[in-house]
Amino acid sequence: MLPSIKLISGHQMPLIGLGTFKITGYEHVFKTVEAALASGYRSFDTASVYRNEIDIGRALKELLPKFKLQRQDIFITSKLGPAEQGKSNASQALQGSLQRLDCEYLDLYLIHWPGAHKLKPDDRMHRKLRAESWAEMENAHRENKVKSLGVSNYLPSHLEELLSTCTVKPSVLQIEYHPHLIQTNLKSLCDKHHIHLQAYSSLGTSNTENLLIKDPRVKEISAQCKKSTAQVLLRWAVQQQIGVLPKSTNPVHIAENIDVFSFTLSEEQMAVLSQLDQQKHYCWDPASVR
């Protein structure tokens, strides 16, 4: 049984899940989900903007019986896209995700981005629209369409604004978080309010210029532990009770990425990795969104 975290909503969420950004096409999705289930993954993270919800839903429906699993045995996350923000859109967007995933409920639903589509970053409408979105998500939570609510890519200002007005507290904050981007203020704010911090892009980036995976200090710890650099970076996060969402379509890497609970990094190794912080975003930086 993989480690899980108890969210403030009262529900359990696996500490590790499969990220699915850019994994599209049914055959591709099917083989990836099959490899993930075979390796022990029970959490799958998608979003409306990933355009793979239909394929993920179909793959899970076909594969769960093969692994003697039912819907309640897995954890499905999706997200409200920037073009879906606001009172008139959010409810329909969630219903769309439920239909595409062929689910009666989602385990977790996140606001994907603090800003709304087609608005300038400093537009005051962002605040109004994300507040409306959250209110609609709270309604869905009351109707048991979503078990837990959360946000993604929020900065402390966005999160504090939400906490000052919400009725249902966010259970999860999903952000870019790795040794090159240690967001201490956000981590502290989440700890204070019992919000689970979940990391995406834990390995930096998948492109060939990934400076994090190639860092000699990461490689040195990898050699010391006899584990891959990816396993070391994922272990650094989960050892701090930070959730991770490694993404791969390679069955070998999928299995390797979940095998991070059989070893422990020493205090010294954890400190070395934590000293690599450069405040470097490999993905999107929400700092300009008002």
For residues 179 and 278, what is the distance between their CA atoms, to the nearest angstrom? 8
In sequence order, the β-bridge partners of residue 78 are 109
* Helix runs in 204-290, H state only: 216-225, 229-238, 251-258, 267-274
126 belongs to an annotated ligand binding site? no
Burial class (CB in 10 A: 0-12, 13-18, 19+), 69: middle
Token digits of residue 227 = 């584990």
Query: What is the DSSP pairing of strand 172-176 with strand 196-200?
Result: parallel
Q: Alpha carbon of 161 to those of 141, 154, 156: distances in Å?
A: 20, 10, 8
Determine whether 50 is an active site residue. Answer: yes
162 half-sphere exposure, CB direction, 13 A CA radius = 33
Q: Alpha carbon of 166 to those of 23, 129, 173, 229: distances in Å?
A: 33, 14, 15, 40
For residues 131 and 135, what is the distance between their CA atoms, to the nearest angstrom? 6
Known catalytic residues are 50
Known binding site for substrate: residues?
112
Known binding site: residues?
112
